[in-house]
Amino acid sequence: MPEIRERGAASAEGEVAGFLSGLRASPEGDLFEAGRRVVAARAPGRLDVMGGIADYSGSLVLQWPIREATLAAVQSAGGPGLTIVSRAIDEGHPARRLEIDGPTTRELLDGGYEAARRWLSRDPEAHWASYVVGVLAVLHRERGLTLGVDRGLRVLVESKVPEGKGVSSSAALEVAVMQAAAGLLGESIEGTEVARLCQMAENFVVGAPCGIMDQMASAVAKAGSLLALLCQPAEVKGYVDLPPAIGFWGIDSGIRHAVTGSDYTSVRTGAFMGYRMIAEAAGLQASATSEPGVVAIDDPRWSGFVANLTPAEFDREFASKLPATLAGAEFLGRFGGTTDRVTRVDPSRTYAVLKPTAHPIGEHARVRRFAELLSAHADEAALREMGELMFGSHASYSSCGLGSDGTDLLVEMVREAGPARGLYGAKITGGGSGGTVAILGRADAGPAVADIARRYAAETGRTPYLFEGTSPGACHFGTRSTEG
């Protein structure tokens, strides 16, 4: 679909050019010093078409880079310290500014991830800056690239990726800042490494147990194509060009999180508990590690990823061996821990195990079939099957406790409209429990999607955000600079 790809790239180019040219005239114009180089980068959000939370279990995922992106501009300063400014988006998202002096900056970068996380979590009003500081801390510790200590750093971010809608606003922020910071230092970091480092920032400094899918999509996706990513841990399998007759949209449900649903972290933990129990049942050897609650498993059968089980193999050999729920204390007493370095089993909690473990196994199979159908230039029968795969993914999320009334309503509206209106499938995206629903339809189904958004608003009183369009990942776009 070259025309879409070209439009997305051209739009991104103009967006960054306008961002740079307007720096001095903006309300934040005093942030940057005239005559000193400014480097800017741009990273898009993503629409999770298939795969979602199965990324941390090794599934194949299919991700669509959206039009909305985060822009970051950086400039070195004479004295040490950090100044981070987030530009106002609207009345609900005012401008934010955080200044960190030189000695504190050194402590944050040299003191380790946990120390930085503790410092940034002291003030909830400063939490937004943890994504930026986390990126700088990871560059310092993992790559030896230091900014803000011997010479200071000024950072301006402007995000057009809506927050809390499940389209990876945090990953877009991290990737944009890392690209800009590396560009300022004259360093080139390969796309997969950018994603890995940004995931570390979110896991260990921000404290969010995300997989690598979001950062990979923001970094290496191509406009007009689905990124096919095998999360074992981050292997780009290719780019699936979208046939001209097919389109993807996203409708935000207006729900940031469903209070009654299971939280993402407990579902992730339950999946890793299930893998540990499957490995035990299969006779695989487990050993303790230096990290409390973390074990290592010698796994030549599934390479450490529960998604590598086939659904038939799981149903035949292991499903009956997993409990629906299990107390954390009992699990730790029997199995010692999981292979997940990001989460820990809480002995005081009870976790769902069977459904969170079954989900990535079924999802991996669904995603592979979806990619096969799309790559074969999908006809009407294939579109209908792809739609059913999306509906199946949505139902599986709900079985894990990650659904919501709003997303369920949107999916049902798409199902009711059906092929007669050019719509074939829909599913909840990302971490679930609200957020955005991805929709598959014919390329001319935009009016039907807009109609569903209007009906949803009328029935719920929520004003949905409609995602359409595409743009390039940060590493394909590169950086742009000005003398300020």
Return d(Cα 16, Cα 257) in angstroms, integer: 32
Residue 3 has pLDDT above 70, yes or no: no
Q: How do residues 66-81 score in pLDDT, each as one tens digit?
A: 999 999 999 999 889 9
Question: What is the rounded (10 degree) CA torsion for 7, 11, 12, 14?
Answer: 140
Domain hosting 326: range is 264-353
In the structure encoding, which two tokens stand for residue 88, read together? 């106002």
Packed helices 264-281 and 328-335: angle between N→C axes, nearest 10 degrees: 30
Is 214 labeled as catalytic in the residue annotation? yes
pLDDT for the residue numbered 94? 80
Q: How do residues 271-286 score in pLDDT, each as one tens digit?
A: 999 999 999 999 999 9
Residues 160 and 256 in one domain: no
Residues 47 and 187 in one domain: yes
Number of domains in the chain: 3
Q: How do residues 105-148 score in pLDDT, each as one tens digit?
A: 999 999 999 999 999 999 888 888 999 999 999 999 999 998 88
Residues 273 and 183 in one domain: no
Is the Cβ–Cβ distance between 228 and 236 less than 8 Å? yes
Domain end: 331, 353, 375, which one?
A: 353
Catalytic residue among 48, 55, 214, 408: 214
Residues 292 and 432 in one domain: no
Return d(Cα 67, Cα 86) in angstroms, integer: 20
CATH assignment of the domain containing 253: 3.30.70.890
3-state secondary structure of 444: coil
Question: What is the rounded (10 degree) CA torsion for 127, 69, 477, 59?
Answer: 80
In the structure encoding, which two tokens stand for residue 226, read together? 């689905």
Q: How do residues 33-63 score in pLDDT, each as one tens digit?
A: 988 999 999 999 999 999 999 999 999 999 9
CA within 13 Å, CB half, 274: 31
**Chain position carrying tokens 């999916």:** 411
Domain end: 317, 337, 353, which one?
A: 353
pLDDT for the residue numbered 34? 87
Domain end: 336, 353, 370, which one?
A: 353
Residue 1 has pLDDT above 60, yes or no: no
Q: How far is CA 447 from the centre of its chain?
A: 28
Burial (CB count <10 Å: 0-12, 13-18, 19+), residue 236? middle
pLDDT for the residue numbered 23? 87
Packed helices 354-375 and 264-281: angle between N→C axes, nearest 10 degrees: 90
CATH assignment of the domain containing 188: 3.30.230.10
pLDDT for the residue numbered 146? 86
Q: How do residues 422-476 score in pLDDT, each as one tens digit?
A: 999 999 998 888 899 999 999 999 999 999 999 999 999 999 999 999 999 999 9
The one-character DSSP state at 57 is G
